[in-house]
């Protein structure tokens, strides 16, 4: 079923969705202008400077070809549906679970809105609670009426894989090769730790491709937590994953209350699923969202130049990094970058580069089979003696002593 919808029918469909779920619906034309708004009340999130700021965040700058379900910076969920020749429909915002007082206090404090705390509370408690499962079904129904039939995966893939497909294939191949070297995920603490390390680092793309590599390896034994019911078994495994992912996100810097609230929401939504394939897809989404929240938290802690600087160092850690080369990449003066970095991060940029290289060396020792001479060369240390000196400075032990330690999880 596919046809060119007109505005009258689209407005009627939005009105029905608004009444059915008690949620706002918006129609945005292709130029970004609001052409229709239907809302059950006049409340609007006071953390946004305007509705236009809200629309700008939820509508991707890149043209969508499939609907997506996404979270805002303020833990609301929305459905974003592109409609041919008209524009975009936004359904929401909604919440996945009831807001907690601690979460609202954290939002008010973090964004400097303590004077608007009462308004903020009124707004969040007015939002309907709609599970992820119901959001997907709503998305499918709306898109089917006005565009064409979709599968669940068509919706969620757009939300959880915003990265280049060719890069994914290359990384997945590498991870699958690594995966085949391990006989059992369930009994491999190193492989398990690597997945949660991606959450700690906020590396959502690498996390997802690595997780898929494990799923494609049929030699893995994920363990049985329920002998009589495979659906229950998969749910129990996912609950264990949620617990560990929550801990990893907190280690990565996500506020504990936010992490626990997110974990509780996932467990509630999980219990509504009855198909194993839905549980597998949901698990991918869980891992991605935790990593995404950590990445956003790390970004918000620093100004844009410092976030870009840290990100550049992380991505080019195997290269020879200097203040001059990084400043040139960011198009700012070395002196300005040096002063700003020391002010926001608390240490000189040269020291931060060293620390980051040592953290990467620890991962190479834990997750790979490189010799110490290979590791110091990969990370551009002048020689192994200097590498050992710097490593001991930041860890208190030598690289050889570190490699003899048992693998600790999180």
Task: Report the CATH number that the domain containing residue 12 is assigned in CATH.
Answer: 3.30.450
Q: What is the pTM of this model?
A: 0.44
Q: Which residue has the tokens 């303590």?
A: 114
- Is the same domain home to 188 and 155? no
Q: Tell whether 337 and 227 lie within a shared domain.
A: no
Which residue shows structure tokens 């893995």?
A: 220
Which helix or strand (DSSP H or E) is residue 71 part of? strand 68-71
- Tell me if 409 is assigned to some domain: no
Out of 242, 276, 299, a domain closes at 299
- Assign 222 to helix, strand or coil: coil
Any domain includes 410: no
Asked if 171 and 147 sit in the same domain, the reply is no
Order of all β-strands in the sheet with 25-29: 34-38, 25-29, 87-94, 77-83, 68-71
d(CA 196, CA 237): 15
Same domain, 354 and 244: no
The answer to the question of residue 150 being in a domain is yes
CA 293/CA 227 separation, integer angstroms: 34
Query: What pLDDT, on a 0 to 100 scale, did the predictor assign at position 319?
Result: 86
Peptide bond into 93 cis (omega under 30): yes
Distance, CA of 289 to CA of 17 (rounded, Å): 26
The number of distinct structural domains making up the chain is: 3
pLDDT at position 65, please?
A: 65
Query: Looking at the structure, do residues 151 and 167 belong to the same domain, yes or no?
Result: no
pLDDT at 176: 39
Shared-domain flag, residues 13 and 153? yes
Co-location of 254 and 365 in the same domain: no
Q: Which of 215, 216, 269 is nearest to 239 (CA)?
A: 269
374 inside domain: yes
pLDDT in tens, the chain (410 residues): 444 567 788 888 888 888 888 888 888 888 878 888 888 777 888 888 888 888 888 886 566 667 778 888 788 888 888 887 788 888 888 887 777 766 777 777 777 776 777 888 888 888 888 877 778 877 777 777 666 554 544 444 333 333 333 334 344 444 434 443 443 344 455 566 777 888 888 877 777 777 766 665 544 445 544 555 778 888 888 888 888 888 888 888 887 777 887 888 888 888 888 888 888 888 888 888 888 888 888 776 778 888 888 878 887 888 889 999 999 988 999 999 999 999 988 899 999 999 989 988 887 887 666 788 888 888 888 888 999 999 999 888 999 888 877 655 45
Q: Are 193 and 132 found together in one domain? A: no
CATH of the domain at 376: 1.10.10.60
- Per the structure, the complete domain to which residue 182 belongs is given by 163-299
On whether residue 1 sits in a domain, the answer given is no
Boundary-marking domain end, from 134, 159, 184:
159
Within a 13 Å sphere around the CA of 115, how many CA atoms are in the beta-carbon half? 1
Asked, for residue 2, whether it belongs to a domain, the answer is no
- Reported as type and span, the H/E element at residue 34 is strand 34-38
- Considering the domain architecture, whether residues 287 and 312 belong to the same structural domain is answered as no
pLDDT at 282: 86
In the structure encoding, which two tokens stand for residue 323, read together?
């203040």
Q: Write down the pLDDT at residue 204.
A: 75
Asked if 242 contacts 286 with a C-beta cutoff of 8 angstroms, the reply is yes
The answer to whether position 90 is within a domain reads yes
26 shares its domain with 154:
yes
79 located within any domain? yes
Domain boundary among the residues 113, 132, 159 is at 159
State whether 86 and 190 are in the same domain. Answer: no
Residues 380 and 310 in one domain: yes
């Amino acid at each position: 079923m596919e046809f060119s919808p007109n505005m009258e029918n689209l407005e009627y469909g939005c009105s029905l969705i608004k009444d059915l779920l008690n949620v706002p619906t918006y129609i945005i034309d292709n130029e970004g202008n609001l052409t229709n708004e239907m809302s059950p009340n006049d409340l609007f999130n006071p953390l946004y400077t305007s509705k236009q700021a809200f629309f700008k965040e939820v509508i991707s700058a890149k043209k969508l070809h499939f609907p997506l379900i996404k979270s805002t910076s303020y833990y609301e969920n929305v459905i974003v549906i592109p409609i041919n020749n008209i524009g975009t429909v936004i359904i929401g915002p909604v919440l996945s679970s009831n807001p907690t007082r601690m979460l609202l206090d954290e939002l008010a404090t973090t964004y400097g809105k303590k004077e608007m705390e009462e308004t903020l509370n009124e707004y969040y408690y007015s939002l309907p609670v709609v599970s992820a499962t119901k959001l997907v079904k709503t998305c499918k129904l709306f898109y089917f009426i006005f565009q064409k039939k979709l599968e669940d995966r068509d919706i969620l893939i757009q939300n959880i894989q915003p990265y280049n497909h060719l890069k994914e294939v290359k990384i997945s191949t590498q991870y699958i090769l690594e995966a085949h070297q391990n006989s059992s995920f369930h009994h491999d603490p190193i492989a398990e730790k690597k997945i949660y390390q991606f959450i700690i680092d906020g590396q959502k793309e690498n996390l997802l491709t690595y997780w898929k590599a494990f799923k494609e390896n049929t030699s893995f034994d994920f363990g049985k937590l329920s002998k009589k019911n495979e659906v229950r078994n998969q749910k129990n495994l996912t609950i264990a994953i949620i617990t560990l992912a929550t801990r990893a996100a907190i280690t990565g810097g996500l506020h504990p209350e936010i992490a626990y609230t997110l974990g509780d929401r996932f467990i509630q939504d999980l219990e509504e699923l009855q198909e194993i394939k839905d549980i597998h897809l949901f698990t991918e989404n869980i891992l991605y969202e935790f990593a995404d929240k950590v990445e956003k938290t790390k970004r918000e802690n620093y100004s844009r130049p410092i976030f870009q600087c840290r990100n550049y160092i992380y991505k080019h850690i195997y290269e020879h990094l200097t203040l001059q080369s990084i400043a040139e990449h960011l198009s700012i003066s070395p002196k300005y970058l040096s002063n700003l970095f020391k002010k926001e991060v608390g240490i000189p940029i040269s020291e931060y580069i060293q620390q980051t290289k040592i953290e990467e060396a620890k991962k190479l020792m834990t997750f790979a089979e490189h010799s110490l001479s290979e590791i110091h060369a990969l990370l551009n240390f002048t020689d192994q003696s200097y590498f050992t000196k710097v490593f001991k400075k930041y860890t208190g032990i030598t690289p050889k002593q570190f490699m003899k330690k048992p693998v600790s999880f999180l």
